[in-house]
Structure 1
Amino acid sequence: MSLSAHEMDLFEEHRGRLAAIAYRLLGSAGDAEDAVQEVFLRWHAADREQIETPEAWLTKVLTNHCLNQLTSARARRETYVGQWLPEPVLTGDPLLGPADTVEQRESVSLAVLTLLERLSPQERVVYVLREAFDYRHREIAEILDLTESNCQQIYRRAREHVAAGRSRTRVDRAAARTIAREFLAATLSGDTEPLIRLLTADAVSIADGGGRVPARRGPVSGAAAIARYLHGLFKPTAAKRAFIGDNPLFYEISVNGDPALLVEVGGEVLGVFCFDTTPDGVAAIRIQVNPEKLERIKARWADTAPHQPLPAIW
């Protein structure tokens, strides 16, 4: 059954919300877009005259698809090369969805998206729909075929798990704006002490290369260890210059609402360093260098060129 103009417009009206839900659930821009396309195909094949509430129907189809994806993703994570991190998205990208409340902004931070990996697929769906999109428990229960009381229990459990992983208070975004340039200056200083002062004592650094580019296989813990690791990573050598070719350019950006540093060489985005900032310092550095997880940032970065790099000598 072909789609009428009205039915096409109706789907397009909900496309952005569906994509934002899928991104929060799957942690991947590409997978989120694939999920929305799958929903569109099912919308096209459905008997739409029998669908009383298109928004609820579309959301249910999407969440059921994402539940299946999340279940299979757990098996894929076991064979993933190195550390797995969510795909970073430039702040302001529509894929991030609503950002009107503190809860909505927090729910799409890389820190929380990483924590959501610890939840069961059902807990993740309930948490995202309630926390980020303000669905009522009755609505979520209907989408997941649960009782309302069961939905409330799942939500409380999910919130407790996320809160336990987010033990520190984050700093105001405005206060964190200079962190990327401070980080760059510290790593290029040739001295580990400036970087140690920038980090919390129990900070952690995680790099995701996906087996496609060289990246540390395991996390680096502790300010001193991270400072030594990053000092070596940023230290120019003949081998690195031969591999990279041009001098790298560094840009202060915002990713998923948090400060970040983008590294570009020869017009190509090579990596993004994302910072989880607290009043005590940077508690986590998430380094994304997997090319597959930089595709969306690359596209939007190119669309918004030219950019002004930070002053740096490498």
Structure 2
Amino acid sequence: MKKTVITIAITALLTAVLMISGYFIYTKIINKDNNANSNMTKKNENNSENVENQIPNDIKNISLEEWRKVIALFYKEHYGYKPDNVTCTEVGPNIIYVTIYHNTELVAEYTLDAETGIASSPTERTANFFKGIFLDNLSTKANFKNNECIAIGYIEKGKEAQIKEKYFNSDIEYESLTTVVEGDEYQFIVIPKSLDATLRIWKYNVSENGELYSEELLLEAVGTPLLIKTQCTEVFPRVGVEYEFGDTKFTIPLMISGMDGKFTITDYKNLVKDISIY
């Protein structure tokens, strides 16, 4: 009888030990699996975020969906939030119309050059979405005197290096300029004095009566230097630069003299600084 009681007690003790050991082993396995699943979830979330934030290395052949992600990331980095909706609509060869919506409101509109990544807006700072920078931060070395508020210069072919050296701090600044292309025969550099000044680039045409008129607005930008490429401008100007800041507003046609091949400023000479390089 005594042996039977002892045997039962030992059996019960061993059973209890086995049950407790099994419970701890089971708990450890479950916790390990939960931790593994949690880590996997976090890893997947991080990978998803990294994919979302990844900017393509090559600007060529970026899809509209990729541009949408690039622009959303630009806003997150520079404005502290990701817009609720970014729309990208191709409106011409390498030209994309961009709208930014946040909290159901239209925040901004841009015209994006898909070849350079440069985006201009009538209300927002000019930016290069691809490079992730604002272009109105470009510092030039143009010095203005008295009433001068805008610098315009004709650049002869082969003199680009001199313009870079004289008026910019690096090649990157020059190469990041917003560029208006209306031909390829002549090049002009335009630098506003104020970062708040509005520049409008107009395309000109001539009526049957020989009257010059503005046919199309090519670009509107705020406070950023511009590079303008245009066709022959000796007979009549093909492009004009409109400057507006405060109460000051005027337009300068971009013309080259047929006599000496130099940039011709007929009006507003006291407001325009000629920085041409011949």
Alignment TM-score, normalising by the size of structure 2: 0.25
> Greater relative contact order: 1 or 2 (C-alpha under 8 angstroms, separation 6 or more)?
1
Question: 1 or 2, which has the higher strand percentage?
Answer: 2
Q: Which structure has the greater CA radius of gyration?
A: 2
Question: 1 or 2, which has the higher helix percentage?
Answer: 1
